[in-house]
Structure formats: structure tokens, C-alpha cells
Chains A and B, each alone.
Chain A
Amino acid sequence: MTIWIQASLLTLQANTKHLNVTLNGGVFIFAKLCYNIIMIYLDHAAATPVSSKVLKTMEPYFTDQFFNPSAAYLPAKKVAAEYEAAKGEIAHAIGAKATDLVITAGATEANNLAFSAVGDGKVLYLETEHDSVRKVAEQYDGKSIRVLSNGLIDMDDLKAKISDDVVLISVALANNEIGVIQPLSEIAGVIRDVKFDRLKRGVKTPLYLHSDASQALNLLDISVARLGVDLLTLNAAKVYGPKGVGALYVSHDVKLSPVSYGGGQEKGLRAGTENVPGVIGFAKAISEAKEHLNGNRKKYANLRKILLSEIKDYELVNKKHALDNFVVLCFDGIDAERLIYLLEDKGVYVSTGAACAASKGLKSHVLTALGLSDSQITGSLRLTLGETNDEEQIHEAAKLINEAVASEKARING
């Protein structure tokens, strides 16, 4: 059986010029096992494959090193130490310490935990936030801060809305649909001024800045001090780590309420036996990301350029301030969802926006916020580049996208 699989893989490798097999630094075997159809994955903002190095690092903690870190004997203590070291590695990547992190089961939980800082206060959030912020903010009667047509925060609107009862302001570092990077340190500056003003007037209400950095972790050099955030959400699944693992950075003066009670793990904020392999994998993934940060940015900028020059008749939605791997194209008059299905048939996987919103048939609140018309929103396609892509793939993808758009135009014009 094994021999047969290897043989067929080799055949595929021989027959398919796009099959990309790298046995080190990330194994990405993408082959559709029929007709030698290639797979070109352009949805890295939705999910990334776990790299081979990460997987290898995690493996022993499922088997030999399975011990509960809270157990008393030495082998368990060793696992506990390695878990703490992994947390330290994750924290180090954002300029923090292991004790500043609360490990969670992903970014959604981290965002939810961050909002527990609010108490009886009020919250503000950027109108383009992911649902895992928007829906929590709704629970706190949150008010949204407008964005400008380029997707950047409207600083005047922010300033106007910070009333004395606001405790938390949540602004994602990079948007999950258009990749626009927000000027967090500038926002932090505004917040600092408000804090000083409050203290001057004897107002005791604290004010915290939270940011979801899920999309940006492997593309920007992040330091909590430089960003000026009090709370920062991290996610392993977007940086070639395992799904279901995330973390919340919490600065010392923020008080949170536990999401679960039990054995007191994670500083008593999230009880439950530690996800040791997940955290070990996250640490490996994040250190890999840091190592390849500059190379990756250059690579994605180049691939982005190829897409933008070879694809025809579109309007670029995220012209400026976006992560290098985000390309959002608008084909006005076309239904981009139809393009997804046409392209999936050719092995090209793309998206129209947040995977969770798109699957519910909802109109993108992000593109709406930018002031796009309904037909422009319907015509918008999100391509997010990643480690699985190379130049050859991108040329091919551009060609296939052009063909799909042309066939839809032909169908509409009858």
C-alpha cells in the first residue's frame, strides 16, 4: 500500500509541473488526484497548513511526552517546563514574557477573554472588525468607530466617541478581509492623551487598547510596546501552526475575568489541562515566521505584483496600507461567488471575504464600510498569498482567473 502511494505520488510529481514538494521547511503536497489538476491555494487568510517542522516538533507531546504538566513527577515537570518555554518563545515574538500570555483555544476565545476587562464599562470597536470582536462588543452595547474609504480608522470619529465610560477600544492590527493595517501606535497615542485627561479630571475609569493581530503575526514585526496595546490576540492557525490554539497578551494593569474555572491553569483565567502539543507547535510556527519574515514579505510583494499586472479588468479594493499577501479585486457586474466555483473546478481556491461570513451568504460588512456599492461587493474576490505559492502558480492562477471572469461575462451577455 505504502509503495503504491509513493509510486502514485511520484507519477504525479512527474506529470504535474505545479506539484510542489518540499520536504524541509514546509511540506506542501498539493495534488488533486485526478487528471493531474493542480491545486493553487490562495486563501491563506482563512487557514494555513501546518508546516512539517511544526508537526514534527509537536509529535512527541502527543505520545512519549504526554504527561499532565501539573503532575508531580519529574517527567511531567519537564513537560511543564517545556510548555512554559514554548509560551516564552511565543511571547518573545511580540516583545513580551511568558507570564503575560494566556493560552486559549484560538483567536475567537482570546478576543472574548479580552472583553472581560470591560466590566460595567463601555466599548468601542472598529466597524470592520471580525465577527469574533463585533459579536462580543454587541454584548457590551459597543459602539463602532468608522473607517475611511481606504479602510483606515477615522481618527476624528475615534476621538469623538471616547466618552468617560469607555473602558476598552478594539482595533485589529490588520483586517481579515482586506488586510489593511491600522496605525495602532497612533491610536495608542490618542488613548494615552485621553487617559491623562481623565486622571487630570479625577476620572478613575481605566482605558485599554485591544488588538487582534491574527492576520499580521507572520507578516509584521510586532512589539506590544511599540504598538502601545494592553491586550493582543494571537492565533497559531494563520501562521502555519495548529488550529484551535491562540493566545492573549495581557499587560500587567488589565484585570480579566476567567473564561473557565477549575484547576487554576493560565493564571486562573482559563482552567483546563494545558494543550501542550498545540503550544509547542505554535511556538515553533511563530519562530519560523519571525525567521522568514523579510523573505516572505518580499516574496508576497512580488507575487502580488504579478497578480495585479496579469489579471485583467478589475479595480483594486485594498490599494494602500495592506499586508503584502492580501489582494482584493473587484470585478464589478460579476458575481464573485460564481468565480469561486468556476475556479475550484480548476483547483484554484479563493474566497469572497471572511470564510465564516461568506458561508452564511451575508454581505461583507467590511466592504460595505468602505462605501462599495452592492454590485461592487458582489464582485469582490479575496486572494491571500502564502508559503504554498510560487511564481509559476501565480502566473497560472492569473490566467485561470481571467478565463473564469471571461466565461461569466460571456454567459451574462448571452
Chain B
Amino acid sequence: MGKKVFVGMSGGVDSSVSALLLKEQGYDVTGVYMKNWSKDLPGMRCPWAEDLADAKRVAVKLGIPFEVWDFEDAYREKVVEYMLDEFKKGNTPNPDVMCNQEIKFKLFFEKAMERGADYIATGHYARVKDGQLLRAVDENKDQTYFLYRISNESLKHTLFPIGDMLKPDVKKLAEEKGLHNAYKKESMGVCFVGEVGMKDFLKEYIDIKPGEIREVETEKVLGYHEGAIFYTIGQRHGLYLSGISGEVNDGLPYYVVDKNLDKNIVYVSKNLNDSHIWTDKLELRDVFIRTDTVHSRHFATNGERVSEEPRNDGRDEACREWSVSVRLRHRAPLIPAKFNGESLFFENEIKRPASGQSAVLYDDEVCLGGGIIA
């Protein structure tokens, strides 16, 4: 028997093909469906039962054992509670990053190891090389943005079987091998409820609190909202401001540019050059630097900068800054920036991402880690 691998199978084509490849490579493979969420949400039926059936169907086709591991309680505690707390603070968290850090590459990893696994595997588009996390070959699908905070301990024992494949080839292989889900629509777990869906999700847990929508330039009240925490900077849907009376209909949409949580006011603007939107600096918190990278000499294992010399604050000293590439959203282009261990500095102004989202740092194809935008 080959080395023992537990592969997380979501019922989608990526994890199915991952299991298939591992099996073909001679591993002793066990498929596992991680049951993280099963509740239906307003306007969204949770497809967990169908996903589970799809995963199991593939496992049976491959002739591998299949199990369901229930992480619902942990997911609620570690991911959903975190998400709600962050929203209550006015941030826009990324549940996917948290799910990978706390569930898939922690609880799932630990349980697999207890069960005698040599490796865990997932259907993520990412690669591991010499203990480093690398971007996927398929630039379009690279998922390291969601993986930058997973522990090095788990990464050492992780296989990403499709990390060097292109998505179309994954689908093609699935079809060739007769997997029924080759062309299944990508999963829409709670991690993907999206901007408008997220509001409905939050309303299940957070009471609505009516407040004003004001134009930032004039302080004029344009309308009313159900709670400032439901809105994200940059958001332009769900404001219901089109066609309001007295409005000059110039066809331009309003964007959320700021919010005052204490006063429960959402500020909007039509001005795409509004100073709230643009910035050349981002402060990060909870910085996580991957230790096994070539850049580890710059940083201590806890993410703090190693102070080889007495530390000097400020960005004026070039030697305290490192050139990195930054991704501010999944699939967003890489932007060059300087990083001093706490803040990112951009040459050209960028559209400010919502606080709570992640900034992920790269050196070429190596994912260096990242932090949460403060």
C-alpha cells in the first residue's frame, strides 16, 4: 500500500480529480466530506446533501473508502462567529481564509494525522515546493489568496494534486474518466454568499438597525438603510438610491465611501475620485509570514519583523522595506508594493479594499504570507 492520504472531497470537480490523481499515483486514499454548514439561508438552499452525494458517488467510482467528518460546531464557532464579530466591528472579513486556517488545515489536518495519515490533500489550485506555498500554474484559478494563513506544519503534509493543472484540463480529465460532476457548477458554500447574499446571511444573526444614507460631500440625507454594518466600502448594490426624488438623474451610481458605526450612518458618493476610495498605503494587522520561505530571514516566526538592528519606524529607510507583489482580492492582479512588516506602500494610489479583507504577499510565485487590512 502507498502512503496514506485523506482527501477533502466537496463534490466538485477539482477535489474529485484530486482524489482520482492520488489514487492513480498509488496512494492509499480515503475521501472525506467535511460537513461544515447545512442550514438553508434566505434565498439560498444549502446544497450540502447533494454535494455530499456527489463526493460519495465519485469515491465509489474510484473504489476508495469515504467518510463524512462533521465540523459544523467548529465552523460555527471559528468561522461564523469570527465573521459576525468582524462585521460588528465594521469590517468585511473573508470567511474562506478563516475556514482554511481553522477547519481544513487545522481540524481536518489534525484528525487525519490522528488517523495515521501521511498527507492530507485538497482540490485547491496551489502548489507546495520545499515547504513553500506556491501560486498555481493556472493563474486564473490560483487560490493561494485563501491559503496564505495555513500553518506550515499542515503545509508540510499537504498535497495539492491539481496545482499544476489548468482548470479546463481538470474538467477534461474528469470527463475522460467518467466522473459525473465534470461540468458541475462551482460550489456556492457559505463562503461564497457574495455581497448581497452576505447581507441576507447577516440579517439572520444581527438585528436590523435603521439609519441614514448621506452624501459624503453634502451631508444630505439621500435615504435610509437597515444597519451600517451590512455595508462595505466600495459597495454599490443594495442602496436603493436610484430614482430618488429631487435627484439629478445622471445615471451614475452611488458608492459606499465611508461609514460611521457609532452614528450608524452610511456615506455615499458618486465621485469615483473621492479621497475615501483611494489610498497609497494600507496598514495590516494579524500579519502572518510563512516561515519556510526564502524571506524568513526578514521576519520572525510569529510574523514580527526580526530586528537585526535597532528598529527604526517610518518608511524612509529603504533597507527596512521589502519589495513584494500584493493581491488584494482573489483573482485580482498582483500589484507591486513595499512592505515594512506592518504596512504596505504603493507607488500609485489603489482603490482602498474593505477593512477585514486580506492582503496577500508574493515574491514571484512564492506566497510569503499576508495580513488583514486594518
Q: Which A residues contact B (CB, under 8 angstroms)?
A: 337-338, 341-342, 344-345, 359-361, 407, 411
A360 cross-chain contacts in B, Cβ below 8 A? 49
A342 cross-chain contacts in B, Cβ below 8 A? 60
B52 at the interface (CB under 8 A from A): yes
CB distance from B65 to the nearest CB of A (A): 8
User: Which listed residue (B49, B52, B61, B68) contacts A341, Cβ 8 A?
Assistant: B61
CB distance from B210 to the nearest CB of A (A): 33
CB distance from A379 to the nearest CB of B (A): 15
CB distance from A97 to the nearest CB of B (A): 41
Of chain A, the residue at the smallest CB distance from B58 is A341
Binary interface profile of B, 41-83, with partner A (CB < 8 Å = 1, else 0)?
A: 0000000011011001100110101101000000000000000
Q: Given A359-B49, A361-B49, is A338 in contact with B61 using a C-beta cutoff of 8 Å? A: no
List 21 A-B pairs, Cβ < 8 Å.
Answer: A337-B56, A338-B56, A338-B60, A338-B66, A341-B56, A341-B57, A341-B60, A341-B61, A342-B60, A344-B57, A345-B61, A359-B49, A359-B50, A359-B53, A360-B49, A361-B49, A361-B52, A361-B68, A407-B63, A411-B63, A411-B65
Known: A341-B60, A342-B60, A407-B63. 16 other contacts (CB 8 A): A337-B56, A338-B60, A338-B66, A341-B56, A341-B57, A341-B61, A345-B61, A359-B49, A359-B50, A359-B53, A360-B49, A361-B49, A361-B52, A361-B68, A411-B63, A411-B65
CB distance from B1 to the nearest CB of A (A): 8
Q: Which B residues contact A (CB, under 8 angstroms)?
A: 49-50, 52-53, 56-57, 60-61, 63, 65-66, 68
B53 cross-chain contacts in A, Cβ below 8 A? 359
Of chain B, the residue at the smallest CB distance from A337 is B56
Q: How far is the CA of A338 from the CA of B65 in the complex (A)?
A: 10
CB distance from A364 to the nearest CB of B (A): 15
CB distance from A136 to the nearest CB of B (A): 19
CB distance from B35 to the nearest CB of A (A): 8
Q: How far is the CA of A344 from the CA of B56 in the complex (A)?
A: 13
CB distance from B50 to the nearest CB of A (A): 8
Q: Which of B49, B57, B60, B65 has the most CB of A within 10 A?
A: B60
CB distance from A103 to the nearest CB of B (A): 28
CB distance from A196 to the nearest CB of B (A): 47
A345 cross-chain contacts in B, Cβ below 8 A? 61
B60 cross-chain contacts in A, Cβ below 8 A? 338, 341-342
B57 cross-chain contacts in A, Cβ below 8 A? 341, 344
Q: How far is the CA of A345 from the CA of B60 in the complex (A)?
A: 10
CB distance from B270 to the nearest CB of A (A): 47
Instruction: State the 9 A-B residue pairs at the shortest beta-carbon distance, nearest first.
Output: A341-B60, A341-B57, A338-B60, A360-B49, A359-B49, A411-B63, A361-B49, A361-B52, A342-B60
A361 cross-chain contacts in B, Cβ below 8 A? 49, 52, 68
A338 cross-chain contacts in B, Cβ below 8 A? 56, 60, 66
Of chain A, the residue at the smallest CB distance from B52 is A361
CB distance from A37 to the nearest CB of B (A): 12
Q: How far is the CA of A93 from the CA of B282 in the complex (A)?
A: 76
Q: How far is the CA of A342 from the CA of B63 in the complex (A)?
A: 10
B52 cross-chain contacts in A, Cβ below 8 A? 361
Q: How far is the CA of A172 from the CA of B66 in the complex (A)?
A: 35
CB distance from B51 to the nearest CB of A (A): 11
B68 cross-chain contacts in A, Cβ below 8 A? 361
A344 cross-chain contacts in B, Cβ below 8 A? 57
Q: How far is the CA of A66 from the CA of B60 in the complex (A)?
A: 48
Of chain B, the residue at the smallest CB distance from A362 is B49
CB distance from A404 to the nearest CB of B (A): 10
Of chain B, the residue at the smallest CB distance from A342 is B60
Q: Which of A337, A344, A361 has the most CB of B within 10 A?
A: A361
B66 cross-chain contacts in A, Cβ below 8 A? 338
Of chain A, the residue at the smallest CB distance from B50 is A359
Q: How far is the CA of A338 from the CA of B49 in the complex (A)?
A: 15
CB distance from B69 to the nearest CB of A (A): 13
A411 cross-chain contacts in B, Cβ below 8 A? 63, 65
Q: How far is the CA of A165 from the CA of B288 in the complex (A)?
A: 64
CB distance from B37 to the nearest CB of A (A): 14
Q: How far is the CA of A404 from the CA of B52 in the complex (A)?
A: 21
Q: How far is the CA of A342 from the CA of B56 in the complex (A)?
A: 11
Q: How far is the CA of A344 from the CA of B60 in the complex (A)?
A: 11
Of chain B, the residue at the smallest CB distance from A360 is B49
Q: How far is the CA of A345 from the CA of B57 in the complex (A)?
A: 10
CB distance from A56 to the nearest CB of B (A): 34
Q: How far is the CA of A338 from the CA of B62 in the complex (A)?
A: 11
CB distance from B245 to the nearest CB of A (A): 37
Q: How far is the CA of A411 from the CA of B60 in the complex (A)?
A: 10
A359 cross-chain contacts in B, Cβ below 8 A? 49-50, 53
Q: How far is the CA of A411 from the CA of B49 in the complex (A)?
A: 25
Q: How far is the CA of A338 from the CA of B67 in the complex (A)?
A: 12
Of chain A, the residue at the smallest CB distance from B63 is A411
CB distance from A344 to the nearest CB of B (A): 8
Q: How far is the CA of A345 from the CA of B65 in the complex (A)?
A: 18
B65 cross-chain contacts in A, Cβ below 8 A? 411
Q: How far is the CA of A233 from the CA of B267 in the complex (A)?
A: 58
CB distance from B27 to the nearest CB of A (A): 15
CB distance from A377 to the nearest CB of B (A): 15
CB distance from B305 to the nearest CB of A (A): 48
CB distance from B84 to the nearest CB of A (A): 26
CB distance from A358 to the nearest CB of B (A): 9
Of chain B, the residue at the smallest CB distance from A339 is B60
Q: How far is the CA of A407 from the CA of B62 in the complex (A)?
A: 12
Q: How far is the CA of A360 from the CA of B65 in the complex (A)?
A: 20
Of chain A, the residue at the smallest CB distance from B64 is A411
B56 cross-chain contacts in A, Cβ below 8 A? 337-338, 341
Of chain B, the residue at the smallest CB distance from A335 is B66
B61 cross-chain contacts in A, Cβ below 8 A? 341, 345
